[in-house]
Amino acid sequence: MKLAIVFDLDGTLIDTPRGIVETFTAALTSMGVTPSDPAAIRGTIGLPLEQAFSTLMRVDRDDDRVSFGVKRYQELFKNIVLPKAKELIFPGVEKGLSNLRSQGFNLAVATTKVYKSAEALLKAAGLWDYFELVVGADHVKQTKPHPEMGLLVMHKLRVLPELTVMVGDTTHDILMAKSAGMHSIAVTYGVHDTEKLQSAQPSWLVDNFDKVLDCIFSIKANSIPLNVQS
């Protein structure tokens, strides 16, 4: 039976955090709100946009300014990030996805972006065709770190948790994988640093995409136990 590999998008496949900070700053400025410190903005990456704006603006999620901010962000994202999507792909990602696809792995994306935004980014980066399934925040009631998104992916792909690997750059990804019973590979080149990722106890911890593939092939060969980090 084929393994299913589920990837987070921002900070895992594509270095969008740089553009995300710029987009949040522009959105907040356009609303007459003093932009948050870049570090504070980066701290919200991986959360649904509604939660991010609520946190950054220090208002309730049902505040009208939050929904307006989300809409403004999505408009600006198209102009700021999408045009440079190809150059933001992390080293080794496109070659690695091609390798995995050619060897018969089921590939999917699970992201806190809404589906249309994820689709636009993946297509702009030229990565869309590598994936059999993309699940966005608007496909579930509860996003990461809740297991619902991971469970939905496995249901759609008809694959068992022990044959599923989640690859992500935040604790939200890793905790979702653990709750869903999946293997997890944490990458340290994204949003959360090594120490924070280790707190979520991923199955593996790696610093580049080539090592992600090494872990996947090791899982396939059943040569490394789940609790090893490298």
Which residues are identified as catalytic? 8, 10
Q: What six digits make up the tokens of 215?
A: 């872990």
Residue 9: alpha-carbon gap to chain centroid: 4
Beta-carbon contacts of residue 158 (< 8 Å; ≥ 6 apart): none
Backbone angles phi, psi at 201, to 5 degrees: 55, 65
Sign of CA dihedral 97, 101, 105, 111: positive
Query: Any idea how long the chain is?
Result: 230
CA angle 194, 196, 201 (to 5 degrees): 90
Integer Cα distance of 103 and 79 in angstroms: 36
Integer Cα distance of 51 and 55 in angstroms: 6
Residue 228: alpha-carbon gap to chain centroid: 22
Integer Cα distance of 176 and 30 in angstroms: 34
**To which residue do tokens 């950054």 refer?**
56
